[in-house]
A and B are shown apart, each in its own frame.
Chain A
Amino acid sequence: MTSLRWIGLIAMKDLRQEFRSGGRVIAMLAFAVLACFLFSFSLDRSRVDGLDVAAGLLWLTVLFSSIAGAGRTFDAEEDDGAFRHLLLAPVSRHAIYLGKTVANLVLVCLVAALAAAALTIFFGIAEPGSAAHHASVLFPGAIGLAAAGTFFGLISRHSTLGDSLLPVLTLPVLAPLISLGATASSRVFLGRPWAEIGGSVRLLWAIAIGLVVVGSLLFRYITEE
């Protein structure tokens, strides 16, 4: 069986499990909507224009929601010992890591889509920019978030600090991604042409691919027993 097929099977297994239990998906989506809701009335709207802050708030919402979700990536499998059995299966560690990253990527994309819609509604943004451009900016960002979240999620799972360790490890790695993504999204919200956005998106892809490659290469060292 090829690695690609294993990646697909592991991702499908994780997603089926997530959507059957529903807990983590609902928690991440609810967190995203509530965060946007709180942002909308914690800012003085008479002085702050929604268009000016929407991009930053969108990326922060997706970031925190992803981190909250990533911390639970391995919970179910670790609790009942299934993850140890998965490691014993004749599957490469790269495939396990990439499969779990793909599953997390689907969840992060859902969160990003919902957060973008929620911010547009709560901030009353009449013309939020091209949906295709938003997706082109958010997708590589979501890959980076899923890659780092999956990797550090396993480390924090074994830490007595639990979820409090995850932001300390992920935020320094993800800060350049968030900064570039927020800059690009801000230009999309303002309806700027693709020529002004493309450079940031290329850098976003470079960082996202870098995170996937590094995570994939180092994953076997954090799964050795």
Chain B
Amino acid sequence: MDADTREGAKGMQMSGRGAGKLGRVGFGLAAAGITAILVVHWMMAFWVPTEAAQGVVQRIFYIHVPAAWTTFVAVGLAALASLAFLWLEDERWDATAVAAAEGALVFGAIMLLTGPLWGRIAWGTYWTWEPRLTLTLLMWFMYVGYFLVRESVASPARARRFASVVAVIGSLNIPLIHVSPDWFPSLHPQAVVIKPDGPDLPADMLITLLTSLAGFTMLFFGLFTLRYAIIILHRQRRIGAPSRLATGH
């Protein structure tokens, strides 16, 4: 067993039964999330009223905002797990970071695709170089770099450390992204839900948004849990410690 494999074995004690349980939890959460998102689509089409100023295009808000929320949850989780991995060198934290970073890429892509579609009608342009959009795009590219580092560094132990560092650096602009519409007034709307004086959305719009937020969050944590279990099982198999789930015992 070489040094990389020995290091990879650290923290790989999850049993196959544990992985199976995690997998079922993940599957359940993902299914609940997809169901909630389907309900949100029905609410967007038939229930929630059309916003007076922007018209029908405003309905993309119920997808864009939850996708953005989920992206930042995923990036925050990936960064915290990466910090924990750098500190404790426990493999499970690295698996947590990878599963969260995959979510950050996927939900970030949804956010970056729906934003311009909304902006084209609301602002008259697909893209504008304002701080929140720019910083979010840059953060997303840092997470592209995270996976490039993981895949392109030959030593697995070194790849994990390098990628963890990239994840930490990539998350440093989350606070800036959050405050940028207040610090640098621009076309991007300011917060309408998380405000000191409470949300200023009509009740039916708020219910639709909160349902969508719950759906996206459950979908993310469902996929995250499934991926975490798969990564752990995959690594157990690689280091020659087949789990009970894999052997059927």
Residues of A within 8 A of B (CB): 155, 158-161, 165, 168-169, 171-173, 175-176, 179, 214, 218, 221-222, 224
In the complex, which of the residues B134, B149, B169 contacts A165, with contact meaning CB atoms closer than 8 Å? B149
B residues 130-157 near A (Cβ < 8 Å) are: 134-135, 138-139, 141-142, 144-145, 148-149, 152-155
Q: Given contacts A221-B161, A222-B165, are A160 and B148 in contact (CB under 8 A)? A: no
B232 to chain A, nearest CB (A): 23
Expressed in whole angstroms, the Cα–Cα distance for A175 and B134 within the complex equals 9
Other 17 A-B pairs with CB < 8 A, given A176-B135, A221-B86, A221-B161: A159-B148, A159-B149, A160-B152, A160-B153, A160-B154, A165-B148, A169-B145, A169-B166, A172-B142, A172-B145, A173-B138, A173-B142, A175-B134, A176-B138, A214-B172, A218-B169, A222-B161
Interface size on B, residues (CB 8 A): 25
Q: Given contacts A158-B153, A221-B161, A224-B161, are A172 and B138 in contact (CB under 8 A)? A: yes
Expressed in whole angstroms, the Cα–Cα distance for A192 and B158 within the complex equals 48
* Interface check B168, CB cutoff 8 A: yes
* Interface check B162, CB cutoff 8 A: yes
A–B Cβ pairs within 8 angstroms, 17 of them: A159-B148, A159-B153, A160-B153, A165-B152, A169-B142, A169-B145, A169-B149, A171-B141, A172-B170, A175-B134, A214-B169, A214-B172, A218-B168, A218-B169, A221-B161, A221-B165, A222-B162
Q: Given contacts A172-B138, A172-B142, are A159 and B152 in contact (CB under 8 A)? A: yes
Residues of A within 8 A of B149 (CB): 155, 159, 165, 169
Q: Which residue of A lies closest to B173 (CB)?
A: A176
B residues 25-62 near A (Cβ < 8 Å) are: none
A209 to chain B, nearest CB (A): 14
Is A218 a contact partner of B165 (Cβ separation < 8 A)? yes
Expressed in whole angstroms, the Cα–Cα distance for A136 and B12 within the complex equals 52
